[in-house]
Chain A
Amino acid sequence: MVEPILRVHDLVKHFPGSQPGETIHAVNGVSFDLKPGETVGLVGESGSGKSTIGRCVLRLYKPTAGRIEFGGRDITTIKERQMRPLRKEIQIVFQDPYSALNPRMKVGNLIGELVKLHTDLDAAARRETVTALAARVHLNADLLTRFPNELSGGQLQRVCIARALATNPKVIVLDEPTSSLDLSVRAGILELLGELQRETGVSMLFISHDLETVELVSHRILVLYLGSVVEDGPSKAVFANPSHPYSQALLSADLPPDPDVVLDRKILEGEVPGPVNLPPGCPFAPRCPLVRPDCNAAKPGPSVIGEDHHAACVRVADGTNDIRNADANAEGDIHKKFQDQFIGRTS
């Protein structure tokens, strides 16, 4: 059994809300392990807490509760000063490469920055490292003397990846690395990431709202809703047999870029509510077409679906968790539920 490089246990992150006394429950008890050479995908819509988890793991945020272990070491509450040397081991690539790079620094210096901060190499050796890194991410060397605003989005994201790779990290958090890129450029970035993982064995935490991309790159995935894991398991298993009603709805709302695929959709009503007042039980209960009274009693624990595959739904036990079978039982309530969703913010 391989020891995980990153272990997140019961992570909780709250933020103060805009009103005094209000709390935003961004992450509410998320646990997962990341093994060496593995890619774990975090999927969810806005407000699911997926980016917050990524930032907690990097200690850009201080977790409210829970434990984060990196390489066996508890980093949950350590000071930035202690965290700093660890930063060469755990890196991040952000969603928007246009804003993630200091516009006043040249590309070569941006890539070289991490080498400068974490190694004792002299200027010449650093330059060599930077050139090698640029080659590894297939970035033309003549771009190294340019400023970020002279590069395209895809090129900039390669710069970000080169930065993340510069210190041979053990873990890279990828926070929606392709969402702000054009389709034809996305594929190149995904291919590069796969290539780098094969070469270096780096573990990746891949955060995305795009199901198809996550399916393509992840070994395991976690489906998040309102800061909780509603389903987790091997990527193939979750996509073949989504078991939580939310995962099913999410998958059914996906639009495959192929006109010949017949959509079998179960469109959810309403929207993800704001994470200020959480439902007492299952976070998905207010939108769930299969809701029943005990859903609101307590937050359901994970039920086993298959090997390493769990869904946090009370209906899994008796096999009534398929939303396509949602009948008219909730119909009468739909209008009211719909209203609660939307009007929640005004009243």
Chain B
Amino acid sequence: MSLLEVSNLHTHFISHDLNNNLRIAKGLNGVTFEVDKGEVVGIVGETGAGKSLTAMSIMGLLQPPARVVEGSVRFDGNEILGLPAEELNKIRGTELTMIVQSPLTSLDPLSRVGKQLVRAQREHRNISKDEAWAAGVETMTTVGIPDPERRMSAWPHELSGGMAQRVLIALALINGPRMIIADEPTTGLDVTVQAQILDLLQGLVRDRDMGAMIITHDLGVVAHYCTRICVMFAGSIIETGPVRRVFNDPRHPYTQALISSTPKRIAEKGYGQIGGPPPNLYALPAGCHYRDRCSRAAEVCHTSPLLQEIGAAHHARCHFATESSSESATVQHG
């Protein structure tokens, strides 16, 4: 049993447009993955692929018109999907936490950092203010904030971007979570600061034997900080496997295109397949959703491909996944 088990998650945006037509955008179409203790799973994909939506669905943070219509999310073996808010809050923010994008807007601008750390603990546990304060200082130290006692009384606007992100991580860690979901934790931070934050996250997962899920669009982050990768496209995971395996032997044409479009690979092999517009989630094509952009598309792609096993823990949702990738690579770059 894994720490987090997401299976067959379907999230739709259901609304009526100005012409009173019912519109359904299929944001997630059967997302299945697991995150184990001590593991960092990287979720990559383009805008609209459903990366953040997956995180929001797991955390129960969806706002109408978004709604989970099917599927299951098990945390530590217990179903948490559809739990009432009070029940969910016993897990959310304590055992299962999330670090969101844009740290500066995610902190309460009207409370000092220390107060936010104390409040985050006292919401979940019966603990004195002094104890909570001490725990706050300790966590601030853990996340590498210098002079934590003084930082505790800082206002969020006094923090730099990297420091705010550390405070946010401290907030996520304060109740000793077992699983952390980080949505673009370093987007908007400078490269030199990004390295500091990622090192910190990786260290925490290792030391505390937590599970982590990092949502990112940066393949470099996945390559060096994740153990497993899930590639999303149009609300489905189209390829998953150990990072090294997937990078060296990608089987889904989208993964292949993604990896071949990094500057380094372009410099080596020239420009490959050009990405197209994202699929229309209101009218997803039957069969493979990548069909319209795929250089290998064939008649068989009008039927939905199943997740095919390629090797140990390496799966791809493509009819041609079991064929050797060198072949498809020539198709692409030739």
Contacts and interface: CB of A to CB of B under 8 A. Distances in A.
- A/B touching: CB–CB < 8 A: yes
A213 B219 contact: no
B194 interface: yes
Contact of A212 (B160, B223, B257, B263): B263
A254 B224 CA distance: 11
A187 B275 contact: yes
Contacts of B193: 271
A253 B254 CA distance: 27
Contacts of A253: 191-192, 194-195
B223 A257 contact: yes
Contacts of A212: 262-264
Interface stretch (A27-35, A66-74, A77-85, A262-270): A262-270
Contact of A215 (B263, B277, B278): B263
A182 B46 contact: yes
Given A253-B194, A258-B247, A271-B161, A342 B264 contact: no
A265 B194 CA distance: 13
A332 B297 CA distance: 61
Contact of A346 (B158, B196, B199, B276): B158
A94 B243 CA distance: 34
Most A CB within 10 A of own CB, among B150, B195, B260: B195
Given A187-B271, A259-B244, A152 B266 contact: no
A271 B190 contact: yes
A183 B261 contact: yes
A155 B47 CA distance: 14
A341 B284 CA distance: 50
Nearest to A188: B274
Interface string B252-268: 00100111111111110
B53 interface: no
Q: How large is the interface on A (under 10, 10 to 19, 20 to 34, 35 or more residues)?
A: 35 or more
A265 B260 CA distance: 24
A153 B161 CA distance: 26
A263 B260 CA distance: 20
B272 interface: yes
B266 A190 contact: yes
B172 to A, nearest CB: 20
A185 interface: yes
A153 B46 CA distance: 11
A215 B194 CA distance: 20
B137 to A, nearest CB: 16
A213 B219 CA distance: 14
A57 B181 CA distance: 42
A185 B46 CA distance: 9
Contacts of A256: 220, 223, 264
Interface of B: 46-47, 145-147, 150, 154, 158-163, 190-196, 199, 217-224, 243-244, 247-248, 254, 257-267, 271-278
26 contacts: A152-B277, A153-B47, A154-B276, A182-B47, A183-B46, A183-B275, A184-B46, A184-B273, A184-B274, A185-B275, A187-B260, A187-B275, A190-B263, A212-B264, A215-B263, A253-B195, A255-B221, A255-B223, A257-B220, A259-B224, A267-B192, A267-B196, A271-B161, A271-B163, A272-B190, A345-B158
Given A183-B275, A188-B275, A255-B223, 7 more contacts: A183-B219, A187-B274, A188-B271, A212-B264, A257-B265, A342-B160, A345-B158
Pairs A-B, 5 closest by C-beta atoms = A255-B220, A184-B275, A257-B219, A187-B261, A182-B46
Interface of A: 45-46, 151-155, 182-188, 190-191, 209-213, 215-216, 249-250, 253-261, 263, 265, 267-268, 271-272, 335, 338-339, 342-343, 345-346
